[in-house]
């Protein structure tokens, strides 16, 4: 799968923790920093309820454990104190991989940073910390954003700002939750990536599963997947194949241009030429998801909001 590029998180975890004034008030802070522990017993920590990761690579955890054995934990684990029957225990907000690796490494104590934070801030901070790690699966990220919307009543715009994404990018993430369950499993396992998944969203559940399996079996690229989806939609609508629809009047150069544009965009492109070198350029799309994908690939993702 392709490596995901770093994202510009305007209010990343470090910025949130180091903020002054009202911003830090929203995240919570201690009124008596000297009274807070900087080291805690591993057994006093509890997994975070807002951890967006649904799986952690055992091999990577063991590698991290080896690093911790030789160098220790370089960055404290961010935690918040629990109350009630769990008083004296601490919930992990950010750093669960370090916590798990520390247990594997045999550590009994770990460095911590304790913060009093409400649930909403804990959820946002956990999501941001994992996004910054670069390897958070897009489906896991989508579930994290969905929790911000459903559990805390954030709008799409507020959720997008919280994780440092555009609203359109956040909407595209959330659409992944509309994939058929087996296709979601393929995405979570890394068998397909987000580009494949977004192309498949134009199909019904049964065809999503069918074509996703074909994508994996044939190792299709995103562009090849988009062409496959386009053909499937045309067949469902009873449209003739592109080779049967090609205008007879097109010159050889025009035909080659039409074909090149179709290959470049991954969807049918038709040229209609008229008198005085005038004409029409028509690009087929199958729903807003497909159109947004086409625009995004041309650097025009901000033109529409779904």
What would the pLDDT profile of 159-180 be if each residue is shown by its tens digit?
A: 888 778 888 888 888 889 999 9
Counting other chains too, the contacts that 52-58 makes at CB distance below 8 Å and 24 or more residues apart are 52/126, 52/127, 52/130, 52/136, 52/140, 52/141, 52/143, 52/144, 53/96, 53/130, 53/136, 53/140, 54/137, 54/140, 54/143, 54/188, 55/188, 56/96, 56/97, 56/100
Q: Please check the confidence at residue 243 and state whether its pLDDT lies above 80.
A: no
> Taking residues 85-94, what's their average pLDDT?
90
- Only one residue has tokens 């028509």, namely 282
Distance CA 249, CA 258 (A): 13
Give the pLDDT score at 57.
Answer: 76
Q: Please name the helix (run of DSSP H) or strand (run of DSSP E) that holds residue 269, with its range, or none.
A: strand 269-273
Catalytic residue (one of 25, 58, 63, 96): 96
pLDDT in tens, 127-151: 777 766 656 788 988 888 888 888 7
pLDDT-derived band at 287, boundaries 50, 70, 90: confident
Q: Please name the helix (run of DSSP H) or strand (run of DSSP E) that holds residue 113, with its range, or none.
A: strand 109-114
Q: Is 120 tagged catalytic?
A: no
pLDDT in tens, 192-219: 999 999 999 989 999 999 999 999 999 9
CB atoms under 10 Å from CB of 150, counted, come to 9
Give the pLDDT score at 305.
Answer: 56
Q: How far is CA 85 from the centre of its chain?
A: 36
pLDDT-derived band at 278, boundaries 50, 70, 90: confident
Fold of 13-176: 3.90.1530
Query: Can you give the residue ranges of every domain in the chain?
Result: 13-176, 180-237, 242-303
Ranking 34-48, 126-140, 165-179, 236-250 by mean pLDDT, the lowest is 236-250
pLDDT-derived band at 25, boundaries 50, 70, 90: very low
pTM of the model: 0.57
Give the pLDDT score at 297.
Answer: 74
Three-state secondary-structure class, residue 272: strand
Give the pLDDT score at 20.
Answer: 38
pLDDT-derived band at 104, boundaries 50, 70, 90: very high
As a whole-number percent, the residues of the chain with pLDDT over 90 amount to 27
Give the pLDDT score at 134.
Answer: 54
């Amino acid at each position: 799968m392709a490596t995901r590029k770093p994202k510009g998180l305007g209010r990343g975890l470090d910025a949130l923790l180091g903020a002054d004034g009202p911003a830090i008030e929203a995240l919570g802070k201690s009124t008596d920093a000297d009274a807070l522990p900087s080291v805690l017993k591993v057994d006093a920590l509890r997994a975070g309820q807002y951890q967006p990761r649904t799986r952690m690579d055992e091999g990577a955890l063991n590698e991290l454990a080896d690093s911790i054995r030789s160098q220790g934990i370089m960055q404290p684990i961010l935690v918040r104190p629990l109350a009630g029957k769990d008083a004296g225990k601490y919930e992990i907000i950010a750093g669960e991989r370090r916590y798990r690796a520390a247990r594997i490494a045999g550590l009994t104590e770990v460095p911590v940073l304790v913060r009093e934070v409400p649930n909403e801030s804990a959820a946002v901070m956990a999501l941001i910390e994992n996004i910054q790690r670069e390897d958070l699966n897009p489906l896991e990220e989508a579930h994290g954003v969905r929790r911000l919307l459903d559990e805390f009543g954030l709008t799409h715009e507020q959720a997008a700002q919280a994780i440092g994404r555009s609203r359109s990018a956040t909407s595209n993430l959330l659409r992944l939750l509309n994939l058929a369950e087996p296709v979601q499993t393929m995405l979570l396992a890394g068998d397909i990536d987000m580009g494949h998944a977004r192309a498949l969203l134009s199909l019904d559940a049964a065809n999503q599963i069918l074509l996703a399996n074909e994508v994996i079996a044939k190792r299709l690229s995103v562009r090849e997947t988009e062409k496959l989806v386009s053909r499937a939609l045309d067949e469902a609508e009873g449209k003739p194949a592109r080779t049967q629809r090609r205008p007879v009047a097109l010159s050889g150069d025009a035909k080659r241009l039409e074909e090149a544009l179709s290959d470049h965009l991954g969807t049918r492109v038709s040229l209609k030429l008229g008198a005085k070198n005038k004409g029409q350029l028509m690009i087929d799309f199958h729903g807003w998801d497909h159109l947004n994908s086409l625009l995004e690939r041309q650097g025009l993702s901000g033109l529409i909001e779904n």
